[in-house]
Structure 1
Amino acid sequence: MTADFSLRQLEYFVAVASTGSISAAAVQCHASQAGISTAITDLERRLGVQLLVRRRAKGVFLTEAGTRVLDHAHAMLARADDLAASARAEKGRLAGRLTIGCYATLSPFLIPPLVDGFTRGHPDVDLQFMDGSQDEIRQSLLEGACDLGLLYETGAEAGLTCSTVRVCRPYVILSADHPLAALESVRLADLADEPLILYASPPAPGNAERWLHSAGVKPDIRYLTSSIEAVRSLVARGLGYSMLLQRWPSDTSFEGLPLAAVPISDPLDEPRVVIAHASNVIPTRRASVFAQYARETLAVPVQAP
């Protein structure tokens, strides 16, 4: 028994579902609105279910059946793309488009080594990446806008399958001439009276406050910024301390001032960086190979000298 619907119809259906309207899907697919509407109506007829509810001037929304079909449509389109790429590639070589999403604050640390190393080993793969907030990367994975995502594990990964690529240990940064800068490690209680330069990534604040509270320290937040380089520069000028996760390759600020990175002796939770894919999608071979490469490459973070 063969299916009597086309991949193009599935592509149009996925585009309408992801954009929320037939007009936006038409722009995305470089097709006419009438063509998109006709294709989906025919798809509904062939499947025997209503996939969308059309609302005049208010776009469309998925029916319960449409939600179920969408999961399968994503998977079928991914497998079709994988089949086409495999057919074009030389024997044993990976080919085709692969899009990686990455939490923006992780991008400078993770994306360059992964893109460089993976494309050297697999030059026929069209590797693309996008960055954004944790929520944006999660949503892109669920909507099929990216194949894999690199983000922090937060416990809010519903609909995603995750595997750990790196475990991070929080540390303190201080100005080079700070009295605690020369210690082998520091207790958070020793910083109780110090001003905190807090890194906060919208829409949620960072982890520093939680770590301090767990050590019985009430933070004295002096400045708050969504720029990590601003945090490091303020600390380097002696205006306070901060707590970070990722390790810079050099202990200097954006302005070239020296910084001290000091381990924390308190027992703290260690956040995990994971590579994820939508649970309802079977990863393509190139996605699986990239995920394994990421786990092997990122297992040991670059340490500051």
Structure 2
Amino acid sequence: MAKPFTLTQLRYFSVVAELENMTAAAERLLVTQSALSTSLAQLEASLSTQLFVRLKTRGLRLTPSGRQFAQDIKVFLEHADSLYESARGMGTSLVGELKVGVFAPLAPFRLPTILQTFEAEHPSVEVSFLEADLAELQNALLEGQCETALMYGLGLGRGFTYQVVERIPPHVLVHAEHPAALRPGREIALKDLDGEPAVVLDLPHSREYYEQLYALAGVVPNVRHRFAGYETVRSFVAKGHGYAMLNQRLHSDVTYSGGKVVALTLTDNFPPIEVMLVRPEGVQPTRRALAFEATCARVYGAAPD
């Protein structure tokens, strides 16, 4: 039985669901607000479901049904695009938009290379990124603000599927004149730094991970400074304000402040951080998302699941 809604209505709904603002959606779609409002009203009537809550001060907000519907139709709209391209003899290409979440401290490392590789293989896909902390990324995935996310697995709740692409052990950073920087093999136990001032990367879930490492080592950290910026932590260490525990290692030992840091391998048996590709459970991924995840896995050297 034919359904009483159109592909145009679904496309309109998808844009409004993304922006949650009728004016902005009409501008992007190049249609009038009245035409857009009528289309959405007809769609809700045909589905016998309220997709949005109309707000006086904030425009629109998706209802739970609307949020689920927005996620479900992504694959449908992609298939419609593929059908169009196939009819034009271009069925093997990927087209459209892809929104990817990324944990902010991870973004500078592999992501530029991942995007460069992906764009070379799929030039018709427009990729945009949401850079955020781990808690924000989980919410963004569940709310459909991004299709997949490159992030740590720290604090990952239920309702997600994931693929591990790298496991990174923690290490310690000290400034270049620190006595430990001259140690043979540049190895150290966290206990050896007990009492020294510490500079902490203070982000949701990351802070709990580092607190766990201190507890495992039986060390009560003398936290002197807390920062949300990865490079800020490195710069303060370089100027002698304390040591830091981090996971990602940079190729350069020079920081933004001009000072140098030295990375020391921890001899403690600490659990590594897992770098993951994460997406919502039960939501069929688009071919664009799958292709991007495959590129990530190759760049990280992991075989895709």
TM-score, reference length from structure 1: 0.84
Whether the aligned pair in 1 keeps the contact of 2:67 and 2:144 (CA below 8 Å) is no
Other structure's SS at 1:109 match: coil
State whether residues 168 and 270 of structure 1, in contact with CA within 8 Å, keep that contact through their aligned partners in structure 2. yes
For residues 127 and 19 of structure 1, the distance between their equivalents in structure 2, rounded to whole angstroms, comes to 17
3-state DSSP of counterpart to 1:108 = coil
Give 1:227's aligned residue: 229
Change (3 A) 1:82 1:128: farther
Q: How many pairs are equivalent? A: 300
**1:250 is aligned with what amino acid?**
S
Cα separation, 1, equivalents of 2:58 and 2:255: 49
Cα distance in 2 for partners of 1:136, 1:86 equals: 37
Q: Provide closer, same or farther for how the CA distance between residues 269 and 112 of structure 1 changes in structure 2, counting only shifts above 3 A.
A: same
In the TM superposition, residue 122 of structure 1 has moved relative to its aligned partner by: 3.2
- Residue 15 of structure 1, CA deviation: 4.2
Q: 1:186 to 1:98 in 2, by over 3 A?
A: same
Which residue number corresponds to residue 98 of structure 1?
Answer: 98
Q: For 2:100, what is the secondary structure of its paired residue?
A: strand
Quote the residue 2:4 is aligned against: 4
Percent sequence identity over matched residues? 34
Higher deviation after alignment, 227-236 or 81-90: 81-90
Secondary structure in structure 2 of the residue aligned to 1:257: coil
Q: 1:175 corresponds to which residue?
A: 175
For 1:172 and 1:273, locate their aligned partners in 2 and report how far apart those are by CA, in whole Å.
19
| Larger CA deviation: 256-265 vs 184-193 | 256-265
Task: Return closer, same or farther for 1:121/1:35 CA change in 2, 3 Å cut-off.
Answer: closer
Aligned to 2:248: 246
- Cα distance 1:228–1:239, how it changes in 2: closer, same or farther (>3 A)? same
- From the superposition, tell whether residues 101 and 85 of structure 1 become closer, same or farther in structure 2 (CA, over 3 Å): farther
Cα 1:85–1:146 shift into 2, 3 Å: farther
Specify the alignment match of 1:44 in structure 2.
44
Q: Which residue identity does 1:218 align to in structure 2?
A: V
Shift, 1:151, TM fit? 1.0
Matching residue of 2:151: 151
User: Residue 200 of structure 2 corresponds to which residue in structure 1?
Assistant: 198
Mapped partners of 2:132, 2:157: distance in 1: 16
Query: 1:82 Cα shift?
Result: 4.5
Indicate the residue corresponding to 1:125 in structure 2: 125
Q: TM-score, normalised by structure 2?
A: 0.84
Aligned to 1:74: 74
Unaligned runs of 5+ in 1: 301-305
Structure 2: distance between partners of 1:246 and 1:52 = 41
CA spacing shift, 1:47–1:34, aligned 2, 3 Å: same
1: CA distance, partners of 2:11 / 2:271: 43
1:272 is matched with 274
Rounded Cα–Cα distance in structure 1 between residues aligned with 2:65 and 2:113: 42
Q: Secondary structure at the match of 2:105?
A: coil
CA distance in structure 2 between the aligned counterparts of 1:60 and 1:123, rounded to whole angstroms: 33
For residues 146 and 200 of structure 1, what CA distance do their matches in structure 2 show? 24
